[in-house]
Amino acid sequence: MPILPIDTGRYGSPEMRRIFDEENRLQKMLDVEAALAWAHSQVGNIPKEDAQKIVEKASTKYVKLSRVKEIENEIRHDIMALVRALAEACGASGEYVHLGATSSDMLDTATALQLKEAVYLIEERLNELESVLLARAEKHKMSIMMGRSHGQHALPTTFGFKVAVWTREVSRHIQRLRDCKGRLLAGKMSGAVGTQAGLGPEALKIQELVMERLGISAADISTQIVQRDRYAELTCVLAILASTLDNIASEIRELQRPEIAEAFEAFEQKKQVGSSTMPHKRNPMISERICGLAKLLRSLVTPALENVPTWHERDLTQSSCERFVIPEECILIDYMLILMIRVLKGLEVDEERMRKNMEITQGRMMSEAVMLALAKKGLGRQKAHELTRELAIKSHNEQRAFKDVIAENSTVKKLLRPEEIEKVMDPRNYLGTAPRQIELVIEKTRQERKARGLSD
């Protein structure tokens, strides 16, 4: 009976869940057994016809999950249950199944095969997210809005600038994942304690042939298990990525607050329900779900790091833990990426509300521009800062437009003409290099995508 939201299908894509389901896991281990038998035959350790029989029968078509579980219930060993079930299917050739190998050769190499599929899918999602962000950054390059620091109005910026920052963060995650992939996707065929003694004099060649057939690299050296720094690195990379998605989703949640109301998740007005009791509500539920799942994904970092230490050449302390961590982190991050793409594609941006929100502080957001204009006129930076600060406080206390307050100040009158005040108070004139920075981000990201073989 399904219990967890991943099991029920509430969370996770069908593609990613399939990679980690029991049937696919079994098939991956059968693939490793088949590759091992084939490699043995290539170096003359077993007859080629027997190896071919094992290769043919190493399929869930012949080795049923139910049979493997039945044997495991009797002998209390999952891999030996697999070996016996495959041997049964192979008849006389079954005596060569699992020759010279140890359980972890199957488990760890099968995990590498699963992760190969999972990382490919995650990278595809990241590429799509990057593309969506690029389009948004370009579209909103000049969508002027209030920049905020400490939650307070700071200086003018553009929504495109905000999105461009997210874009490069995602681009870095793509690079991190690609860098990690080379270290992650490694299998092994090293036998007990890693010495390959049971595989015979051609052991290194056997390992090489197995990994070539499976399309992954061989660990340079390993004990009875592949060292867990590889998996821990992936978990850390995915946790950082989850935090970026959390950051983007949190910003959207803030911008959707009625007091701000500058950006909104898409809402299907004909059917979607915002609240079971408050019909007026339009909640940022998808973004909130992303933030919630990010907490869970980050929590997987600690067990992943604690899996790195092991007693001597191996123990089983990491085994039970990884049965949760590895599928969970991949399924959740894939799902979070799907959600984030959906949110950003459907995001509604209210540019008029952005402009109105800039008026809340009555022009005081332009205090830095005024200060610098006065400094350039010879007042000096420190005196200009103090004068502008005093005028900003006066504007606030009297609830008067900042422009009117500075225009009537005697010192300002001496240094700035009315038309200069008008110019310095226009937020469109104080975007700095923001538009150009966005253009550079778009250009650089597109070049990187082209280098990765992507067309857009």
The whole-number pLDDT of residue 15 equals 97
The segment(s) of the chain belonging to CATH 1.20.200.10 are 103-144+155-270+279-357
Average pLDDT, stretch 264-281? 66
Structure tokens at 169: 């963060």
Distance of alpha carbon 246 from alpha carbon 252, whole angstroms: 10
The whole-number pLDDT of residue 368 equals 96
User: Has residue 185 got a pLDDT over 70?
Assistant: yes
Which range among 13-27, 271-285, 335-349 shows the weakest confidence by mean pLDDT?
271-285
The whole-number pLDDT of residue 456 equals 75
User: Has residue 301 got a pLDDT over 60?
Assistant: yes
Distance of alpha carbon 193 from alpha carbon 316, whole angstroms: 13
User: Has residue 58 got a pLDDT over 90?
Assistant: yes
Average pLDDT, stretch 297-316? 96
User: Has residue 275 got a pLDDT over 60?
Assistant: no
Quick check: 252 and 274 in contact, CB under 8 A? no
The segment(s) of the chain belonging to CATH 1.10.275.10 are 1-99
The whole-number pLDDT of residue 283 equals 83
User: Has residue 39 got a pLDDT over 70?
Assistant: yes
The whole-number pLDDT of residue 280 equals 58
The whole-number pLDDT of residue 2 equals 86
Distance of alpha carbon 215 from alpha carbon 242, whole angstroms: 29
Reported CATH class of domain 364-424: mainly alpha
Residues in the chain: 456
DSSP state, residue 219: P
Distance of alpha carbon 283 from alpha carbon 234, whole angstroms: 33
List, for residues 410-442, the tens digit of each pLDDT value: 999 999 999 999 999 999 999 999 999 999 999
The whole-number pLDDT of residue 306 equals 97
Looking at every residue in the chain, the average pLDDT score rounds to 95
Where does the pLDDT of residue 159 fall: very low under 50, low under 70, confident under 90, or very high at 90 and above?
A: very high
Average pLDDT, stretch 181-190? 96
Residue positions annotated with a catalytic role:
150, 275
Which range among 86-95, 232-241, 264-273 shows the weakest confidence by mean pLDDT?
264-273
DSSP state, residue 376: I
The whole-number pLDDT of residue 269 equals 59
Fold assignment, 103-144+155-270+279-357: Fumarase C; Chain A, domain 2 (1.20.200)
The whole-number pLDDT of residue 266 equals 84
Q: Percent of the chain scored above 90 by pLDDT?
A: 94
The segment(s) of the chain belonging to CATH 1.10.40.30 are 364-424
DSSP state, residue 193: G
Average pLDDT, stretch 373-394? 95
List, for residues 165-181, the tens digit of each pLDDT value: 999 999 999 999 999 99
The whole-number pLDDT of residue 276 equals 55
Where does the pLDDT of residue 281 fall: very low under 50, low under 70, confident under 90, or very high at 90 and above?
A: low
Q: Which residue reads 């015979």 in tokens?
A: 200
List, for residues 351-363, the tens digit of each pLDDT value: 999 999 999 999 9
Where does the pLDDT of residue 295 fall: very low under 50, low under 70, confident under 90, or very high at 90 and above?
A: very high
Smallest CA-to-CA distance from 412 within 392, 388, 439 is with: 388
Query: Sign of dihedral through CA atoms 211, 216, 217, 221?
Result: negative
Fold assignment, 1-99: Fumarase C; Chain B, domain 1 (1.10.275)
The whole-number pLDDT of residue 282 equals 79
The whole-number pLDDT of residue 277 equals 58
The whole-number pLDDT of residue 357 equals 97
The whole-number pLDDT of residue 272 equals 59
Quick check: 116 and 215 in contact, CB under 8 A? yes
Q: Classify 363 as helix, strand or coil.
A: coil
